[in-house]
Structure formats: structure tokens, C-alpha cells
A and B are shown apart, each in its own frame.
Chain A
Amino acid sequence: TQLLEQSPQFLSIQEGENLTVYCNSSSVFSSLQWYRQEPGEGPVLLVTVVTGGEVKKLKRLTFQFGDARKDSSLHITAAQPGDTGLYLCAGREGTYKYIFGTGTRLKVLA
């Protein structure tokens, strides 16, 4: 089973700051997803990246898939309190299985 390590585990920043969350593996994934999860709810998909080197932007969020498809990053510009939550990456292993990362808990202070 492949492992996905996320860093940092916890992040507490002031509103308006920028941040980057990393998701790393020693194995190759066919695609990678990023989710945000709020307390008491299921994860909600933010983006799927498929091609090595791919960059996707979603308003203030920028997602990058590494060239070798082993790692990914999520960059948030000018963070807002509404960005607070648990961020999870998930790599697709083969055709059916998803392996989830260890999670990054983000708190944005007003």
C-alpha cells in the first residue's frame, strides 16, 4: 500500500497570509485529488489533477501535480477564515483504490 505524507500537520495563520500544503509519496499515482473537510461533515472534492506537471487554479487556490506524479501542492493566496478546515490529498492507486493523506488542519484567524 502506498503512503501519502502531508505537511505541515497543523497550520495557524492570520487572515491575508499565503500558505502552501504539501502531499508527498515515493510511489506514482494515476491521479490525485484534494479535499476540504469541515467538522461533522464528509470531505468535499476541490480538484482532481491527472497529468504530471499540471497546474489548476480555483479562485485563490492553486494546485500542482508533480512532474513524476508522486507529489502535489496546494497553495492558498490571501487566506480567509472561511478557508479553515482539514485539507486532505488522495492518490488513486490503480483503477479503483484511493489512498488518503494524513491531513493538514488549517486555521485562519480573523
Chain B
Amino acid sequence: NAGVTQTPKFRILKIGQSMTLQCTQDMNHNYMYWYRQDPGMGLKLIYYSVGAGITDKGEVPNGYNVSRSTTEDFPLRLELAAPSQTSVYFCASRTDYEQYFGPGTRLTVT
């Protein structure tokens, strides 16, 4: 079992560019999440999904978009990247009481 996989691992973007962070899970979990983590801090929820076709905003959704066309995939789209979006992005999926995290994508916007 691969669990939760994320690509890419690292990315540098110029201000104003766009990109999609990929997230895939093979555990057939309905719930999936995107978080961002700034240096030395906890995680902030960007978006979440409770199943294919259903998504909702978290604490910090501005500047991001998501879609959930399948149970397995939950991509996060950044439009018009800004320096404030420099962070480490984690995708997670969960059962009733356990969240499983991917290894993260380290994004720098310059």
C-alpha cells in the first residue's frame, strides 16, 4: 500500500504563475484534506472533501481551488502564485479517527 502520495516534492514558482499539486490515496477513504504548514508552525486547513464531487473551504482557502472527481485524487490548484503561498503543503485522507498524511510538497514563490 502506498498510502497518500504527493507530487511534486519541491517546486519553485515565480509570482503570478499557476500550478497544481497532486494528491492520491489508495485506501478508499472518503475524506481528504489539504493543509499548509509555515516554518515551525502547526497546520492550517485549506480545503477538504467528504467524497467525490463534494468539497468545502477550510480556514485559509483564498488563492486556492480544489476538485474531487474520483475517490482517489484530490488536486490543489494555485492560481496567480504569491510569496505568501510559500509553504509546505500536506495532503491527508482519513478514516473515522485517523488521518494519514502524505510526505508534503515544499513550494517557494519568488
Contact = CB atoms under 8 A, between A and B. Distances in A.
Nearest to B9: A40
Nearest to B58: A97
Given A43-B43, A50-B97, A102-B41, A97 B102 contact: no
B40 to A, nearest CB: 7
Interface residues of A, number: 25
B31 A42 contact: no
Given A31-B97, A45-B98, A48-B97, A98 B103 contact: no
Q: Is the interface of B mostly helix, strand, loop or mixed?
A: strand
Residue among A4, A6, A45 having the largest count of chain B Cβ atoms under 10 Å: A45
B50 interface: yes
Interface of B: 4, 31, 33, 35, 40-45, 48, 50, 56, 58-59, 90, 92, 97-104
Given A96-B56, A98-B45, 19 more contacts: A41-B103, A42-B90, A42-B101, A42-B102, A42-B104, A45-B98, A48-B98, A50-B97, A86-B40, A88-B42, A88-B43, A90-B43, A96-B31, A96-B48, A97-B48, A98-B33, A99-B59, A100-B45, A102-B41
B42 A41 contact: no
B29 to A, nearest CB: 12
Contact of A45 (B44, B99, B104): B99
Contacts of A45: 98-100
A100 B104 contact: no
Interface string A40-70: 1111110010100000000000000000000
